[in-house]
A and B are shown apart, each in its own frame.
Chain A
Amino acid sequence: MTSNPVRVQPVNESIGVAAAMKAVFMRDIKVAFRQRQDLLNPLLFFVMVVTLFPLGVSPEVSFLRESGAGILWVAALLSVLLSLDHLFRHDFDDGTLEQLVLQPQPLFLLVLAKTLAHWMLTGLPLVILTPVLGVMVHQPGNSIGILCLTLLIGTPVLSLIGSIGAALTLGLRSAGVLLSLLIIPLYIPVLIFGTGTVAAASEGAPVGAYLALMGAFLVLALTLAPFASASALKISMSNS
């Protein structure tokens, strides 16, 4: 119990931004590891889609070599999309999001921490699984390397852009379809350049320009998306 007289604290006594971001990040990681089936869902989805393609379309080596990278990219994109609704939903329902919005630190940085946690829990495992699935769909070694690299740059972009849609559709009861409609158009450029990079690499063309463009996507998303998500969160909060 505080025994000293209560007074209005000056702003500079507030806790550091880095510590607050770390706390938000760690909490999300901890919650996810207590609920592992949620953690496995996007991964299982990713593996299933990639496995079903050879079975459903054609197990021919030539087909898989040509379209394997595209299949992996589309599957990764969809499994990130699938996991987006959880980004803020649980926090919204149990009230922790209210407390997050009311923290004195800039909200966009806290949202960035949450989004990074989301990427660590969905995007990064997909990237780690990619070499195995790449071999399964007969991708040559250097393609797999480039594929992993494009996914490593691309999946954070997917999480960041997705966070805007997740924040915007938070107050709605059936957010799923709307979220996809909002987000898919923004995902298309990332998908085109991601698969384009791998295609160029498999033809032996230089990929520097492609990778630079993907890097530009990442920087753009990293700098702008948290602001948009933070504003969208405030709007969703205000309407609830």
Chain B
Amino acid sequence: MSEPLLQAVNLQCERDERILFRDLSFSVMPGTVTRVEGPNGSGKTTLLRILAGLNDAWSGDLYWCGQPRAGQRESFLRNMLYLGHRPGIKPLLTPLENLRALMAGRRPVSDEVLSRALEGTGLAGFQKVPCRNLSAGQQRRVALARLLVADEPLWLLDEVFTAIDSDGVKAIEALLQQRAAEGGAVVVTTHHNLQLPGMQRIVLGGGQVDDE
């Protein structure tokens, strides 16, 4: 596959009368990891929310599978997974119930598979505990368990390493790399010094796109 999954052309975003980025163009190819970096307030999260379709305050063009994204809402949302820095976890529900609710709008997944995904993120034995009794890192792991059952080709992950211990960070790095090897595309914003072979970098604050 040589067609980019997601292509941005001359993106520009202004926030509070300050231009976060302008003339930002890049392609997200299948089988690649893209890291968005930049200092605090440089617009990493904003960029990711624009790519996910949560933020409408931008100009430029976005293409999904070669076609303008605007007319393809359902196809785009069906094939995109977004994890924001608010993890999307209900504190009153258990990890399993949360995961079930998050997957329910996407595709049917058996509880067995979901339990295994939770075990895979180190939450074995916590399936029945309400999420508010879990630590911040554990709550993020509940959200991350979605990645283990996700079939969406495009992942947009915002600050995915926040509150995760060093073993967890290694596991996520391995997961992203494996995902790229399988043909998925990952866009990740992070302050963590993520280094993966063939990784594309988008540096905000300067506005350039580097291919390593």
Contacts and interface: CB of A to CB of B under 8 A. Distances in A.
B74 interface: yes
A37 interface: no
A30 to B, nearest CB: 7
Contacts of B179: 6
A14 interface: yes
A212 interface: no
A31 B183 CA distance: 37
Interface in A54-104: 90, 93-96, 98-104
Given A5-B182, A11-B75, A102-B54, A27 B90 contact: yes
A94 B78 contact: no
A69 to B, nearest CB: 37
B153 interface: yes
B77 A99 contact: no
A102 B57 contact: no
B105 A24 contact: yes
Chain B CB within 10 A, most for which of A8, A95, A105, A238:
A8
A32 B108 CA distance: 24
Interface residues of A, number: 40
A173 interface: no
A95 B84 contact: yes
Given A8-B79, A95-B86, A98-B84, A103 B151 contact: no
A98 B92 contact: no
B92 A31 contact: yes
Interface in B80-110: 80, 82, 84-93, 97, 100-102, 104-108
Chain B, interface size category, equals 35 or more
Contact of A102 (B82, B90, B91, B130): B82
A96 B77 contact: no
Interface in A203-240: 234-235, 237-239
Contact of B104 (A7, A23, A102): A23
B112 interface: no
Contact of A105 (B5, B82, B100, B105): B105
Contact of A6 (B56, B93, B101, B182): B182
Given A24-B105, A96-B88, A104-B106, A9 B78 contact: yes
Contacts, number: 119
B162 interface: no
Interface in B1-36: 5, 30
Given A15-B106, A20-B105, A98-B84, A9 B151 contact: yes
A34 B54 CA distance: 30
Contacts of A93: 86
B153 to A, nearest CB: 5
A102 B148 contact: no
B88 A95 contact: yes
B59 interface: no
B53 interface: yes
A98 B77 contact: no
Given A5-B183, A99-B102, A34 B89 contact: no
B163 interface: no
B55 interface: yes
A19 interface: yes
Nearest to A20: B105
Interface of B: 5, 30, 52-57, 65, 73-75, 77-80, 82, 84-93, 97, 100-102, 104-108, 130, 148, 150-153, 179, 182-184
7 contacts: A7-B183, A11-B78, A14-B78, A30-B97, A95-B89, A104-B73, A238-B54
